[in-house]
Chain A
Amino acid sequence: MSAPVPSADDDRSPAIQRSSRGSLDEETFNALFHACAADVHGYAISLLGDRSAAEDVTALAFERLYRSRSRLDHGRGTSRAWLFAIARNAALDELRRRRRQPQSELREDLAGDHGSTEPLEQVERRATVRDALAALPMREREVVLLKFHGQLTNSELARALGIGESNAGTRLHRALTRLREECMRLDRREVA
């Protein structure tokens, strides 16, 4: 049974929405934690391929967010975007520190909890998506993960990546195109 995936609307709780206009107070921070911790962890574990490292990155991201909450600039994005920018930096630092090649393929035991109750078609489709995602270059895979786990707009994505919005859109478009092509290739291979 796969974990329930909250929608973007679920993550935008009133407290977090208020944080987009005001300071990141304790209540907002707690709400942000409960709403985004799983997403941050999902992004980190998908990028790093290691549960322990993902937990370190998740804890570090919220630690840094707490420390920098007074410097949160809502004019430059929402607190969620700020959090994922911090998480991305922590994840890249972890990648660089460990000098470890990121998992080229998501390990089977980290590739979600596929319960027996799921339809076979869905299980197979996710396996294809997993393989296609693993086949992407690291830079493109990271954009897809940041977009889908962080549920960021292109503007927020650009902030997190430290690039321009059009550049972020182009990079995202390229990554999704590559992902689609990879899925199609895998699909054709399976059919053959």
Chain B
Amino acid sequence: MRIISFPGHGETDPEDVSSAELEAALDGDGIGPVAESWRELRTDVRALAPPMDPEFERRLAERIAERSAARRPRTVSPVVSPEAPPSRGSRRRDRWAGWLHRPARLGAAAAVAFALVAAVAIVAGTHQRGSSSVERPASSQSLGTSQGAVATAGSRNGAEAKAPPVAAGPAEPVTAEPPGVESPAPGRVQQLAATITLAASPSEVQATADRVARLTVGDGGFVQNSHVQVQTAGTSEANLTLRLPSAKLGAALNSLGQLAPVRAESQSLQDITNSYDAARQRLADADAERQALLRALSVASTQGQIDSLREQLSQARNAIAQAHSALQAVSQRASTAEVEVNIAGDGAGASEGLTLHRAVHDAGRVLVVTLSVLLIAAAILVPLALLFIALAGVRSAWRRHRRERALDMP
């Protein structure tokens, strides 16, 4: 026989057990039998739980005290007395060890590092393409193959061996290789060309063009044509077409690059071996025909035959002269390289010669590159961070769901 006096006993209105009433009762603010019954219920529920084992409480208190003394969340190293304060070095090592043991932080650091490296790589590539483009020709082997001129050195030399030397006539004998040809592929005849754009201040365009001309002559070449436009206000520019010995093309481009900052540079290569071989063959054929006519003339007996043969010899000499000229033209193409020099006097290159302006310019570029790196890194990191946040949210929701399910287990 016991009466358990719960608040609202006998009443059906759920408002009897209001949250405010309960809160007031448990806080000790409520008075009266209802509040007292709530406090009594709380006391009864709490009293149902057995007290902590004193031994467990003591051990747990010791662990807490050790942690508090060490001020470290991780377990205390067994070789170090828990009472002794850790040294600065050990604290640093522990901090790093703890840091590294946290996969989330390590992953974030790796993502940041990856993003920065990727951004630097992207910016570096863009910077190289945008500011100063340098194009080099493909290898002569691949170029020759792509053009279908698969005349090997041996076969060409064979044709050369069968071609008799031009012993008579006005044409000069043609050497096997055109003079001065810088042929990266043995046995091939190639024509080189280059284009270079230099940046100069408007006032320096004329002087730079003059230096280009002098350098060209010094390298054994000549200026094929030139156009220099200097304006007191506005953009000045100069365009020069140079002919340089092919063997000196590389050195000449280097020398041109010393005159002013190079804004762009490209080189091209064309295989003209077929044209060269065809010209040689025509010359050999014409010479063979002339030799045959001379032999026929030596055995001619009638005046009519002699006159006819002399007429044919005259035509043969003309053919030899034409073939020789054609061969020389091809040789000339191979032995000289055409270089187009563009001097842009738009002011962009003016600062490159002045230290202060150049420093300001470089500083601006550094800032732009830095901002670009940060922007690209952010472009990589922001989606990664959003993905990470979404995954973390899903993981947290899933863990909460699994925990809550533990309460629904039968």
Q: Is the interface of B mostly helix, strand, loop or mixed?
A: helix
| Complex alpha-carbon distance, A124 and B44, angstroms | 11
Q: How many residues of chain B are within 8 Å of chain A by beta carbon?
A: 51
User: Which residues of B lie under 8 Å from residue A51 when comparing CB positions?
Assistant: 50, 53
B122 to chain A, nearest CB (A): 36
Q: Assess the A106–B48 pair: CB atoms within 8 A.
A: yes
Q: Assess the A66–B73 pair: CB atoms within 8 A.
A: yes
A40 to chain B, nearest CB (A): 9
Q: A124-B2, A173-B19 are in contact. Are A3 and B45 (CB under 8 A)?
A: no
| Complex alpha-carbon distance, A12 and B57, angstroms | 20
| Complex alpha-carbon distance, A142 and B25, angstroms | 20
Q: Name the interface residues of B52-74: CB closer than 8 Å to any CB of A.
A: 52-53, 56-57, 60-61, 63-65, 67-68, 71, 73
Q: A62-B60, A96-B402 are in contact. Are A144 and B49 (CB under 8 A)?
A: no
Q: A33-B61, A33-B64, A148-B42 are in contact. Are A43 and B49 (CB under 8 A)?
A: yes
B46 to chain A, nearest CB (A): 5
- Residue from A99, A145, A172 within 8 A of B19 (CB atoms): A172
User: Which residues of B lie under 8 Å from residue A109 when comparing CB positions?
Assistant: 50
Q: Assess the A45–B50 pair: CB atoms within 8 A.
A: yes
Give the tally of cross-chain contacts (CB within 8 A).
154
Q: Assess the B22–A176 pair: CB atoms within 8 A.
A: yes
- Residue from B26, B48, B56, B400 within 8 A of A129 (CB atoms): B48
User: Which residues of A lie under 8 Å from residue B406 when comparing CB positions?
Assistant: 92-93, 95-96
A98 to chain B, nearest CB (A): 9
Q: Assess the A38–B52 pair: CB atoms within 8 A.
A: yes
In the assembled complex, 13 residue pairs joining A and B whose CB atoms fall closer than 8 Å, in A order, are A51-B53, A93-B406, A102-B409, A106-B48, A129-B48, A148-B42, A169-B19, A173-B17, A173-B18, A176-B17, A184-B9, A187-B2, A191-B1
What is A's interface to B at a CB cutoff of 8 Å?
Answer: 2-3, 5, 7-9, 26, 29-30, 33-34, 37-39, 41-43, 45-46, 51, 55, 58-59, 62, 66-67, 89, 92-93, 95-96, 99, 101-102, 106, 109-113, 121, 124-126, 128-130, 133, 138-139, 142, 144-145, 148-149, 151, 153-154, 162, 169, 172-173, 176-177, 179-180, 183-184, 187, 190-191
